[in-house]
Amino acid sequence: MTAYIIGRITITNPQDYAAYAEQTVALAEKFGGRFLVKGGAQTVVEGNCPDRHVVIAFPDRQTALDWYHSEEYRRILPLALSASSRDLVIVDGI
């Protein structure tokens, strides 16, 4: 079953965050992931929202976890953590 990594992100250092973000697409693709949403214009219709949303589809939950815990992703993760405030979840699709 497809699993989605959903990120709600407020960028605090755009330059450092860009260095992280430019590496994520190729790395996700290596694990069978596909970005469905990566930033982009948004219209808030309810509540308070962060600057940026990201949705990545993976073949299944385990593959999403493998990507997140991979050595390659762990190398770039400190860039994201120091340049943003974020919530990241893995959600099973239907």
Three-state SS string across 17-39, please?
A: HHHHHHHHHHHHHHCCCEEEEEC
Residue 89 CA to residue 87 CA, distance in Å, equals: 7
Write down the pLDDT at residue 9.
97
94 residues of the chain, pLDDT tens digit each: 999 999 999 999 999 999 999 999 999 999 999 999 999 999 999 999 999 999 999 999 999 999 999 999 999 999 999 999 999 999 999 9
Write down the pLDDT at residue 89.
98
pTM of the entire structure? Answer: 0.93
Asked: is 3-92 a CATH 3.40.50.2300 domain? The reply is no
